[in-house]
Structure 1
Amino acid sequence: MIFQISNLLLQALVTIIGGACLIRCYMQFFHINLGRAGGYQISSYLLSLTNWIILPLRKALPSVGRLDTASLVAAYLIALCKIGVLWFLSGAPLAVGSVLLMGIFELINLFLSGVIGAVFISIILSWFAATSIFYYFLSELTEPLLQPFRNVLPKMGMIDLSPLVLLLAVQILQVVVANVQMALLS
């Protein structure tokens, strides 16, 4: 029971803080600026949620091109903390290589789940609150992923199938990642 409660609480922390770190990394990679159209509120939340870990890492880890390595490493360290605590609580013998590898898969799964969530929420907000700041923020995040599908899919008037195709592609990726994870960790 303690393990399950710990897993739930740690997953919530990893999703919130690790996800915020990944969003910062993603935003730098795609040159997304939240300063436009009132996005200052959202960016201030992201900064206050992540600066405590990213700023010290940024002193040692400079960005590599468009990749914000400090944000990526911060998200990975948060995922590693979750895996380490759960490993400790399980009482299993420590296997450092497995913990490090599980941290990578935790990060990949967090990113893929975040994409699915962002696309779903963006779709729903487009129906009801297309002028909200949060919709603008999600549109900025999902547009770089949707655009390649929009370029390939035929135009169907007012119907945009790119979110559906992106969701299918991400779910296929989740299946592939889960199979690779099982193969490597078993």
Structure 2
Amino acid sequence: MWFQMVSMVLDVVAGLMAGTCLLRFLMQWQRISFHQPLGRFVFAMTDWLVLPLRKVIPAWTQWDLSSWVAAWLIKLLQFLLLWLLAGGQGALGLLPLVSLVGLAQLVVSALSALVLVLAIMSWVNPGSPMYALTARLCDPFLRPFQRVVPLIGGIDLSPWVLLLLLQILGMLLSGLQMSWMH
């Protein structure tokens, strides 16, 4: 039972830290200002890791690869600690791949939560600044679906289609990760 508790705490802490690194990437990619409370939070949470990585990993076009690498390193540390706590059972060489799948799962979960928040806010408070920020963050992922999924009665169902596909992807990633860990 203690392993499950430690695992949960590590998952929450690593998810928050790696997720914040991914949010930093997304905000920079979408050119969202960091001169607001969320931006200051993202910098405070990630500067300690992203800034040193930037000295070694250059940006690729407009993409900040150091934020991605920081997120992956956090997930790698999480799985390494879990591996050590489990007594070193399993192949150590698979940890980089398992952590990459863990990062992909985090992306799927975070994007699902973001799209769900956008959908709820569109009904509750579409005029709020938080709705505008969430819409800008979700836009590159929703736009392809909005081109294909027609409005039905004036309602945009593309967020629900994206959520369905993200859930399927999450299941596939979970199955893949479980097969590698056993």
TM-score, normalization by structure 2:
0.91
Per-residue CA deviation, residues 30-61 of structure 1 (Å, 9 max, x unaligned), is x312229xx62211111111111100111111
CA distance in 1, matches of 2:132, 2:76: 32
Per-residue CA deviation, residues 52-90 of structure 1 (Å, 9 max, x unaligned), is 110011111111123311100100011011101111111
1:50 matched to 2:46? The reply is yes
Per-residue CA deviation, residues 118-171 of structure 1 (Å, 9 max, x unaligned), is 011111122222233322221111111111111111232421110011011111
SS of 1:72's equivalent? helix
Unpaired stretches in structure 1, ≥5 consecutive residues: none
Name the Cα RMSD after superposition.
1.9
CA distance in 1, matches of 2:19, 2:66: 14
Show the counterpart of 1:64.
60
CA separation of 1:172 and 1:93: change in aligned 2, threshold 3 A: closer
CA distance in 1, matches of 2:73, 2:144: 31
SS of 1:60's equivalent? coil
Contact between 1:34 and 1:40, CA under 8 Å: does it hold in 2? no
> Map of 1:25-174 to 2, 5 A cutoff?
25-28=25-28, 31-35=29-33, 40-93=36-89, 95-174=91-170
Contact between 1:34 and 1:42, CA under 8 Å: does it hold in 2? no
Contact between 2:102 and 2:177, CA under 8 Å: does it hold in 1? no
TM-score, normalization by structure 1:
0.89
> Map of 1:1-12 to 2, 5 A cutoff?
1-12=1-12
The number of equivalent residue pairs is 182
CA distance in 1, matches of 2:179, 2:87: 23
State, as a whole percentage, how many aligned pairs show the same letter. 35
Q: How far off its partner does 1:185 sit? A: 4.6
